[in-house]
């Protein structure tokens, strides 16, 4: 408690808990200089933000299979888009899907630097196929005896009427349209 002395030298028994800030002062607190602590609104806001962050992060650690599949699908999509973008004005740019004893390989050929992705997560099954009609899933598993490839022409297009579907664990993960554009999801 702060005691304020009077002009006559005596002490007045009144306390002054907060001193008002000067008007238009940007360096001092607007209401009270001596007050400190959190308001209920600030506390609830922090708890709410922490809850949202935890709700997004915790499921990623509990089941890594879904996260691995999503990450692998995003990497395959990036490689397919690099191949399509690099195929303009060139012939023979190819996306190759193969299987070996170390796992699946998603790679390109026909470029000066061929990006590739080694897929060795246990439990992931890579499959692909040419779409014959809209709404069908043509994916068949890639094995050592049945690799799959997609070739782009000089206009960065593929020669399939409905596109090529690539699947991870049976889910339609990636589609390469007849125009050569790779996108996530099913071929529509």
Q: Which domains does the chain have, with CATH numbers?
A: 1-34 (no CATH), 65-184 (3.55.40)
pLDDT digits (tens, 9 = 90+) for 129-187: 888 887 777 888 898 889 999 999 999 999 888 889 999 888 888 999 999 999 998 88
Summarize the confidence of residues 102-122 as an average pLDDT. 86
pLDDT digits (tens, 9 = 90+) for 78-90: 999 999 999 999 8
Give the pLDDT confidence score for residue 12 in this predicted structure.
Answer: 52
Locate the DSSP E strands across the chain.
3-5, 11-15, 93-100, 103-109, 116-119, 126-130, 140-141, 148-152, 164-168, 171-176, 182-184
CA separation (Å) from 58 to 23, 28, 70, 100?
47, 41, 16, 34
**If you write DSSP's letter for every residue of 96-126 in order, what string do you get?**
EEEEETTEEEEEEESSSS--EEEE--TT--E
Give the pLDDT confidence score for residue 83 in this predicted structure.
Answer: 92
């Amino acid at each position: 408690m702060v005691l304020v002395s009077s002009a006559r030298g005596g002490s007045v028994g009144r306390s002054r808990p907060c001193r008002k800030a000067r008007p238009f002062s940007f360096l001092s607190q607007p209401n009270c200089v001596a007050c400190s602590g959190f308001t209920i609104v600030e506390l609830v806001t922090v708890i709410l933000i922490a809850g949202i962050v935890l709700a997004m992060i915790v499921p990623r650690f509990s089941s890594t299979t879904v996260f691995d599949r999503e990450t692998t699908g995003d990497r395959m999509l990036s490689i397919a888009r690099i191949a399509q973008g690099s195929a303009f004005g060139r012939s023979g740019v190819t996306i190759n899907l193969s299987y070996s004893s170390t796992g699946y390989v998603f790679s390109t050929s026909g470029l000066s630097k061929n990006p590739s992705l080694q897929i060795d997560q246990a439990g992931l099954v890579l499959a692909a196929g040419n779409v014959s009609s809209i709404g069908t899933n043509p994916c068949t598993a890639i094995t050592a005896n049945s690799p799959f490839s997609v070739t782009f022409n000089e206009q960065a297009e593929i020669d399939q009427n409905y596109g090529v579907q690539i699947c991870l664990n049976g889910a339609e993960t990636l589609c390469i349209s007849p125009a050569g554009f790779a996108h996530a999801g099913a071929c529509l």
